Structure formats: structure tokens, C-alpha cells
Amino acid sequence: MKLHPQLRKTLDSVRARADLRARRGNDPVDFVHQYEDRADQELVALLAANLAFGNVKAIRLKVAELLDRVGPSPAKAAENPKRLFAQLDGWKHRVFIGEDVARLMIGARKLQKEDGSLGAAFAKALRGADVTAPDDAHEALKEALSSFCDRIRVAGGLPLPGEKSVRRGPVNLLSNARAGGGAKRLHLFLRWMVRPADGIDLEAYHEFRRGLLRHIGMEEKILLPAAKRARGGEPLPAAALLRLDHGALVALLVPRPTRTILAAIRAILATHNRIEEGPGGVYETCARLAGAGLDELLAELRAAPEVPVSAPVDDERAVTAARRALTRAGYDTARIGI
């Protein structure tokens, strides 16, 4: 949405006068800012958001006690389950006890180790949900949240939704989005980590932009040219379509992200990923064409450099350029809502 210049000026003035540090000090997100390591920030954000039951004062006291028990690095603490259970023995907040929180930390840390970060784990869940619910962004998000939480539960030894538990705490520590709940504490966690860094939120997942741009570069500079050479100079049939998608994705990564921008990216990736990853898709074709040289091709892809990423811009011209790129790629901008 384009703001009227006077309204933007008024809102910017209010924001400039706001004491963000004071506001943050009264919110559980303040705990996240006490850590510099990304893995610690993710774990503390997950803990603080999902323990946000009751009044703020009680929440802050209990989270502070929890983190004091855990020590300077929650991520390292979660790698020693036996010690962590002992550290949190006797801790309690409402229906949750130390064992519940320890299992949450252990499970989340395992996801970090497997996928690189909780952000990457959630992105994986989103990709899977786009396959199961490609035309319903709301249902896809619910499924992604549920899948993400289920992985944490299984990895940490918490009961899955529907499984019997002698206490409410282990079952209710993570929301069950599939059951129709608002999952507001999970959304709180995502908001803290996804929204641009402004003194309160952290933009911890800006690597999504960097990772997507690197992915596009790998395909444009390595994978598609290799397939073209293997086909005697003839491009893959899907190459032109992929490049149009790439152009639209790159254009959508320029403006500051909004719900409509993110919805447009998801709409492209839902189709784009099926073309690449589906049976008989681009990746399968490229592997077949590479033949004995597949290992060499994979090594080249893994060695692809990071792509320099500029900060998003708050400019309507960038949104207009993204609309043009979407139209060129064959997407209905009115249907997407951008």
C-alpha cells in the first residue's frame, strides 16, 4: 500500500520520538537482543515467545530465571541434554516445567544442526507445504507451522498432537496450527525474527533473500549452461520459463517486503519448485545429462559464491518494476494482489 506523503511524514515523526529501547525493555523480545550468536537468538526467541502466557512481568521473571539457569549460550546448553535437564530441574511457569522447556530446546537445537538454522528449517517446511496446498496460502502456512513444530517435538521427545500425556505442559508448549488455533505465539516468534531490524525486531532471516539470490545465480551461471552444453548448444525446454521466473523473483526481492510481496514470491516458487524438483523435472534432467560428470557439477554448485545483497528499498518504483517482471513471466498481478 502506498502511503499518502503527509501520513507517512506523521507516522515517521511518531516513530522518531518513540523510545524503542524502553518499549523493548517491557517485552520478552528484549531477551533475544541480549545474545549475539544467531543460534542463541533463535532459541531464546522460540522460548520467550512460546512461554508468553500471563502478564508481562511474570513472563519476564520466568524467562530470566530460565536463561540464568541455562547459562551464557542456550545453543551449547541444548547440546548436553543430561546437564540441561539438571539445570532446569525445579523451574516452573504455569503448566510448564523445566523438562518441557529442555525438550523444546533440545529439539530446536537438533533442527538447527540439521538444517543450519530454525529459519532454514521453517523455510523447508514452507516449501513442503507449498506442494500440499499450492493454491491456499493460509492452509500452506498452517501446515508449515505444524510440520515445523512436529519436527521439534519428535527431535526433543515432546508428544505429538493427539498423543497422550500425563500433563498439559508438554502438549501445549507448541501450538497445534492444524487444530485451527491462531498459533499466535508461533507468529510472535516469526515476527520477531522476520521483520526488518528496527531496534525491536531482528530480521534474523534476511538470509532468505541472500540464499534465494545465490540459488538463482547457481542455476543461471552453472546449471543451465551445463545442460545447454550437454545438449549440444540447445537450451533445456524449461530454461526460458525459469529465467523469466528468476527475473520476477529478483525484482520482488528489491522492495521492502510486505504481505503482498511475500505472497507473490510464494506464488512463483510454488510452480517454480515443481518444475525444478518434480519427477522428470529440471534437476533430474540435469543429473542425467551430466552423467559421469555429476560429481564435478555438484562440486561446482556447492562452491558457488555468495551474492552481494543490498538492503530492501522503500520505493514504489521498485514495486512497479516487480509488477512488470511478473507480467513478463506470465503471472496475473491482479490475482496475486500486487
Rounded mean pLDDT, 33-38: 86
Same-domain status, 239 and 301: yes
CB 78 within 8 A of CB 71: no
Average pLDDT, the chain: 87
pLDDT of residue 104: 97
Of 85, 86, 144, 77, nearest to 112 (Cα)?
77
DSSP states of 34-80:
T--SHHHHHHHHHHHHHT--S-HHHHHHHHHHHHHHH-S-HHHHTT-
Same-domain status, 239 and 138: no
Same-domain status, 134 and 257: no
Tell me, yes or no, whether 202 lies in a domain: no
The region of weakest confidence among 34-43, 207-216, 239-248, 276-285 is 207-216
What does DSSP assign to residue 178? G
With bands split at pLDDT 50, 70 and 90, how would you rate the model's confidence at 87? Answer: very high
Same-domain status, 136 and 264: no
Rounded mean pLDDT, 106-121: 94
| Euclidean distance between CA atoms 151 and 157, whole angstroms | 10
pLDDT of residue 123: 85
Same-domain status, 65 and 128: yes
pLDDT of residue 96: 95
Same-domain status, 221 and 102: no
Same-domain status, 183 and 213: no
Tell me, yes or no, whether 3 lies in a domain: no
Q: What is the dihedral of CA 51, 57, 63, 66, to 10 degrees?
A: -120
Same-domain status, 176 and 307: no
Same-domain status, 65 and 123: yes
Tell me, yes or no, whether 167 lies in a domain: yes
Tell me, yes or no, whether 9 lies in a domain: no
| Euclidean distance between CA atoms 152 and 149, whole angstroms | 5
The domain tally of the chain equals 2
Tell me, yes or no, whether 200 lies in a domain: no
Matching residue, cell 516487480: 322
Q: Considering only residues 98 and 19, tell me which one the structure prediction assigns the higher pLDDT.
A: 98
Same-domain status, 131 and 160: yes
Last residue within a domain, chosen from 152, 173, 194: 194
Last residue within a domain, chosen from 147, 170, 194: 194
CA distances from 94 to 61, 129, 160, 165, 168 (A): 12, 33, 20, 16, 10
Tell me, yes or no, whether 8 lies in a domain: no
Percent helix, percent strand, percent coil in the chain, to nearest 5:
70, 0, 30
pLDDT of residue 204: 59
pLDDT of residue 190: 84
State the residue range of the domain holding 175.
22-194
With bands split at pLDDT 50, 70 and 90, how would you rate the model's confidence at 237? Answer: very high
Last residue within a domain, chosen from 194, 226, 244: 194
Same-domain status, 88 and 134: yes
pLDDT of residue 133: 67
Rounded mean pLDDT, 218-238: 96
Tell me, yes or no, whether 11 lies in a domain: no
Q: Considering only residues 188 and 239, tell me which one the structure prediction assigns the higher pLDDT.
A: 239
pLDDT tens sequence across 272-309: 988 998 899 999 999 999 999 999 999 999 899 888 87
Of 251, 252, 226, 250, nearest to 239 (Cα)?
226
Same-domain status, 172 and 259: no
pLDDT tens sequence across 58-67: 999 999 999 9
- Given a cut of 60, whether residue 200 has pLDDT beyond it is no
Tell me, yes or no, whether 10 lies in a domain: no
pLDDT of residue 205: 56
Query: Where are the strands (E) in the chain, listed by range?
Result: 92-93, 96-97
Query: Can you say how many angstroms the Cα of residue 221 is from the centroid of all Cα atoms in its chain?
Result: 26
